Amino acid sequence: MKPSTTKLFLTYAFVVALILFGIGFILMPLAINNEKMIVILTLIGGFIIFLIMIHQIIDRYIKPVQSAATVAEELAGGNYKVRAYESYYGDIANLSNALNILARNLQEMKIQEKIQGNQLRTVIDNMESGVMLIDERGYVHLVNRKFLSLFGQSKKDYVGFLYYSVFKQKPIHKVVQEAFLYEKKVKNAFTIEMDIEKRYIEIVGAPIFNEFKTLKGAVLVFHDITDLKRLEQTRKDFVANVSHELKTPITSIKGFAETLLDENLSNVAVQEKFLKIIYKESDRIQSLVHDLLELSKLEKDEMQLQYQRIQISEKINQEIIPIIQHQADKKMIHFNVEIKEQLEIEGDLDRLKQVLINILNNAINYTAKGGSIDFKVKQENNYLVITVKDNGIGIPEDKINRIFERFYRVDKARSRNTGGTGLGLAIVKHIVEAHKGTINVTSELDSGTTFTITLPKIKPFKDK
Ligand SMILES: Nc1ncnc2c1ncn2[C@@H]1O[C@H](COP(=O)(O)OP(=O)(O)OP(=O)(O)O)[C@@H](O)[C@H]1O
Ligand SMILES: [Mg+2]
């Protein structure tokens, strides 16, 4: 029994005792001899019966009502875990049961709400864009993980502050002001310095309204568009490079053709010289266009390699060595070949030949007369390892990373003389990567260059 019910019990017991005492006080003088004993025993018996009845009433009716009142108070206070005293008697039982059902439902709703809240938080936190929520007075209410990774610092440095005190960037201020002013979506872009690099950020500000269509704040979404910008720049550079590469031979062709037309050249030797130049330049344009088409074919996602099982040792010996040997002989270059016999690989034969010829051609082009080239093909575990080592002009250390870029040539004039377009290694890299292989270069200026290509012997799974 709780203290309050004990007190109630004692009060009722005292009142009953008082009444019985009164009755006894009245009856006792009227009774004689044994009757007195009977009166006393009856009164004591009556008292005990009353005590039992009081106890029963408290237990069945008062306690459940008290418990229901406590439960209702707790529920009102937000504690949905409380449950009422389960009673079995009439309306009181209905009341306790109804309260318990209410408590269970509320608890369920609270759990659901918590789950939904967590889900929403997880979604917001794992978004690929930064998110910030500000209220109608400009105070920051929420920032997500991506936002923090873009702008640095932690949540507590933003939440609770005015947006213009946490951002220095004017374009952000402008977006918020316009989103509030015009009550519509606003876009802008700005840059931020991260570590040593600059990142381009696009910001979209959208006003938030409540059910009565009154402005309640704004959500700001930040997209990192650095990669897109870079791509745009690469495209611009590419177009500029292509135009530039085409301009030189076209200008030259036009110049010599004009000279041939304008001046009445009677000297056949000079005419022939000019025509040869025109022929050479148009040849250059042709190979440039050819390489560009080749690159764009390779870059298409659907670039399909014609995979087949290739007896690579045999193919190299028959179809590559004779061509390269011929070029090497012309420059008196020692061409040393070391190919393990009977090597096999799964790959696209024509593309792999293109790779080897390109690398070997480069070795010949960038090695002086009398130099030497070592060409080795061997197997290491499940890979085919191809190395081409020359003792030619080499590549300056700071330029090594750039030689796979389109149109990049260490020495433009020299490469152009050899008829190079600067696209060869870009194509090579594409093909090697399409085969899931790797290509590495080591080089030292004036002492030589080594290219190492590693290719898986078996066709890798598509999604590897
Ligand atoms: N073996 C090498 N030794 C020294 N420099 C090299 C070697 N291979 C490539 N390079 C450098 O890398 C640059 C890029 O090579 P790449 O093959 O892509 O172009 P290219 O040879 O100039 O023209 P092409 O597209 O006709 O092959 C070359 O211009 C050259 O400067
Ligand atoms: Mg080349």
Give mean pLDDT, residues 341-351: 93
Check pLDDT > 80 for residue 1: no
Q: What is the pLDDT of residue 464?
A: 43
Residue among 439, 422, 283 at smallest CA distance from 366: 422
Taking the C-alpha atoms of residue 322 and residue 203, their distance in angstroms, rounded to an integer, is 60
Alpha carbon of residue 22 to chain centroid = 89
Regarding the beta carbon of 151 and ligand 1, being less than 6 Å apart is answered: no
Nearest atom within ligand 1 for CA of residue 415? 22
Taking the C-alpha atoms of residue 315 and residue 432, their distance in angstroms, rounded to an integer, is 18
Regarding the beta carbon of 449 and ligand 1, being less than 6 Å apart is answered: yes
Q: What is the pLDDT of residue 237?
A: 84
Check pLDDT > 90 for residue 197: no
Nearest atom within ligand 1 for CA of residue 419? 26
Regarding the beta carbon of 403 and ligand 1, being less than 6 Å apart is answered: yes
Confidence band (pLDDT; 50, 70, 90) for 392?
very high
Regarding the beta carbon of 430 and ligand 1, being less than 6 Å apart is answered: no
Taking the C-alpha atoms of residue 378 and residue 263, their distance in angstroms, rounded to an integer, is 60
Please say whether the beta carbons of 8 and 58 come within 8 A: yes
| pLDDT, the chain, mean | 88
Check pLDDT > 80 for residue 273: yes
Helices (H), 167-225: 170-182
Instruction: Pick 169 or 2 by higher pLDDT.
Output: 169
Q: Which amino acid is at 450?
A: T
CA of 365 to the centre of ligand 1 (A): 8
Regarding the beta carbon of 391 and ligand 1, being less than 6 Å apart is answered: no
Going by CA atoms, what residue is nearest to atom 26 of ligand 1? 420
Pocket test for ligand 1, best of 285, 362, 373, 452 (most atoms within 8 A of CB): 362
Sign of CA dihedral 415, 421, 426, 432: negative
Pocket test for ligand 1, best of 286, 367, 409 (most atoms within 8 A of CB): 409
Nearest atom within ligand 1 for CA of residue 423? 25
pLDDT digits (tens, 9 = 90+) for 69-97: 888 898 888 888 888 877 666 777 888 88
Check pLDDT > 70 for residue 462: no
Pocket test for ligand 1, best of 289, 360, 403, 439 (most atoms within 8 A of CB): 403
Check pLDDT > 70 for residue 263: yes
Helix-helix angle 90-125:63-76, to 10 degrees: 20
Nearest atom within ligand 1 for CA of residue 394? 4
Check pLDDT > 90 for residue 269: no
